Amino acid sequence: MKVVIVGGVAGGASAAARLRRLDEKAEIIVLERGSYISFANCGLPYYIGGEIKKKSALTLQTPQSFKSRFNVEVRVNNEVTSIDTAAKTVTVRTAEGEYTESYDKLILSPGAAPIVPPLPGADGSRVFTLRSIPDTERIREYVEEEFPDSAVVIGGGYIGVEMAENLKKAGVETTIVELSDHLIAPLDYDMACEVHQYARSQGLNLVLKNGVTAIEDNGGKMTVKLNDGSIETDMVILSVGVRPDTVLAKQAGLELNARGAILVDSHMLTSNPDIYAVGDAVEVTDFVTKQKAYVPLAGPANKQGRIAADNICGIPSEYKQTQGSSVLKLFDMTIAMTGVNERAAKAAGLDYDKMYTFNQSHASYYPGAHGISMKVLYEKKTGRLLGAQLIGYDGVDKRCDVLAVAIRAGMTASDLTELELCYAPPFGSAKDPVNYAGYAIENVLTGKIKAFHWDEVASLPRDGSVTLLDVRTPAERENGAIEGFTGIPVDELREHIGELDPKKPIYVHCQSGLRSYIACRILAGYGFDCWNLTGGYRFYSLVVKETKAMEHPCYGTK
């Protein structure tokens, strides 16, 4: 059997290694148009910022190492230009000329290409994209040799945010321009608000809800023109997203979706019985919604490469959909997510609700504890977990991993309460933040509490038909309070029960949602119909503050 793999990096390299482990006698050839067969895409920004010191650290495998360990022939700087599906050959272009290579089975792993918007000036010499090691070298050389004072990153996704952090660490004043109202698209707006405030505190400039119309370079300072305003800068990074790189697949007559991604079945087989496709070039199915999606992540690409190899070798392996688990570092902050966000849940017509919690990363009495903001989406009828978003400074990744497993296993909020997770004061609490999320949702599902959220506060009546109660301390209220809420500290609530009308619904909040839950249980014992603000005043005030700031979004513009 002869297998030709077009493209390396995550999917192609994974497929090649798996094929060899399953079949020692197969002829395996990897054709890579670039100079590197397997490198760490996700590490590229950190090389620019100096966190990763040596470029060689980004190279996971070389043609020589692949040959010596796996007996796989890797040909770099060999670009496949066409596929003849009838003859089962590919045409390959090199510096020396063209040749054809036959195959029994073909695996396509072409990856994705950066989207370069049709902007005037987008092809300028000081405008960069980041997708490969050569891209990284150009950016780092420019920073080290030209000493730019400022940079504009167009696009606030994963790579855009990571690039902004690392340019800032390299001493470059950096502005992120993002067309939508928040950074990091998989986050919901409300959770992104905490990211925005932290990013600004670290010296990043954010221009949100504002698009770029042109880039002008007259030899001095560049001008990035916006829908509203402009920014003077020394360099521009384009990071507006990626598209599946599927020109070859289209020319070969393989079935694609409207976005251009290759259609594959659960075995990673394309519409041609001898061609498989993996990685950032393929359409996937969302694990939660069961709808078709495009999720270019390294983890799925690696799994898909392995699955394609399994099926070529006669093992009926299946790729069981994507749930979009991801994590991002921003200076000292960690941002993680898994499953669906609210936009996806609404679009899929899911009957869901949400829960906001805020708990310490480990026992509060042990030094170094930090709060973790958590938003969990769940199905109202069953309590089945649908998605989670977490933001904090310590222990965020492991909690998100637990929730990712819970979603994959079809677990409910009640199941979270039963998880026995590792505990010692430096690492967690006897009741882990994941347990707390389960308890909070279970309390709603079992009728022990009713919940309302930050985006419902403004619509609460202020005409006396309901009671609005703040159970924080007077000192806390002096630092900020929600208009219309009367203050009675939770520890004094029983003494003041007679002052409250049990015939009126009562809406309660504290700083994080815990004391107000206790207050609601006290009030329920006296016959009150009580509602608890999830996430508390902390989360409400954070989102409201950011929303007001969004009325003047042109930070750093003229």
Distance CA 101, CA 544 (A): 61
Reported as a single tens digit per residue, the pLDDT across 137-195 is 899 999 989 999 999 999 999 999 999 999 999 999 999 999 999 999 999 999 999 99
Distance CA 46, CA 290 (A): 35
Of residues 396 and 298, more confidence is placed in 396
Average pLDDT over residues 324-346: 97
pLDDT at 439: 97
pLDDT at 46: 79
pLDDT at 44: 79
554 near 537, Cβ under 8 Å? no
pLDDT at 37: 75
pLDDT at 220: 87
Strands in 212-217's sheet, in edge-to-edge order, are 212-217, 222-226, 230-233
Asked if residue 507 has pLDDT above 80, the reply is yes
377 near 398, Cβ under 8 Å? no
Please state, rounded to an integer, the average pLDDT across all residues of the chain.
93
Asked if residue 458 has pLDDT above 50, the reply is yes
CATH 3.50.50.60 correct for 127-240? yes
pLDDT at 39: 64
pLDDT confidence of 203, banded at 50, 70, 90? very high
| CATH 3.50.50.60 in the chain, residue ranges | 2-113+243-312, 127-240, 332-446
Asked if residue 55 has pLDDT above 70, the reply is no
Helix (H, G, I), strand (E, B) or coil at 48: helix
pTM of the predicted model as reported, rounded to 2 decimal places:
0.93
pLDDT at 59: 67
pLDDT at 325: 96
DSSP one-letter string for 487-533:
E--GGGTGGGGGGS-TTS-EEEE-SSSHHHHHHHHHHHHTT--EEEE
Asked if residue 94 has pLDDT above 70, the reply is yes
pLDDT at 554: 53
Asked if residue 89 has pLDDT above 80, the reply is yes
Residue that the structure tokens 């360099």 belong to: 235
DSSP one-letter string for 217-235:
E-SSSEEEEESS-EEEES-
| CATH 3.40.250.10 in the chain, residue ranges | 451-534
64-73, 181-190, 220-229, 350-359: range with lowest mean pLDDT: 64-73
- 451-534: CATH number: 3.40.250.10
Of residues 471 and 56, more confidence is placed in 471
pLDDT at 558: 44
**Catalytic: 422?**
no
Query: What does the block give as tokens for 468?
Result: 């609005």
| Topology classification of domain 2-113+243-312 | FAD/NAD(P)-binding domain (3.50.50)
Q: Which of 445, 410, 418, 457 minimizes the C-alpha distance to 434?
A: 418
- 332-446: CATH number: 3.50.50.60
Query: What does the block give as tokens for 520?
Result: 């609601």
Distance CA 267, CA 29 (A): 21
Beta strands in 11-154 (DSSP E): 27-32, 38-39, 59-61, 73-76, 79-84, 89-94, 97-102, 105-108, 112-114, 127-128, 150-154
Query: What does the block give as tokens for 369?
Result: 């504890």
Residue type, position 102, single letter: S
pLDDT at 57: 67
476 phi/psi in degrees, rounded to 5: -65, -40
Catalytic residue among 42, 400, 510, 530: 42
pLDDT at 556: 47
129-143, 276-290, 332-346, 395-409: range with lowest mean pLDDT: 129-143
SS3 for 120-155 is CCCCCCCEECCCCHHHHHHHHHHHHHHCCCEEEEEC
Asked if residue 373 has pLDDT above 50, the reply is yes
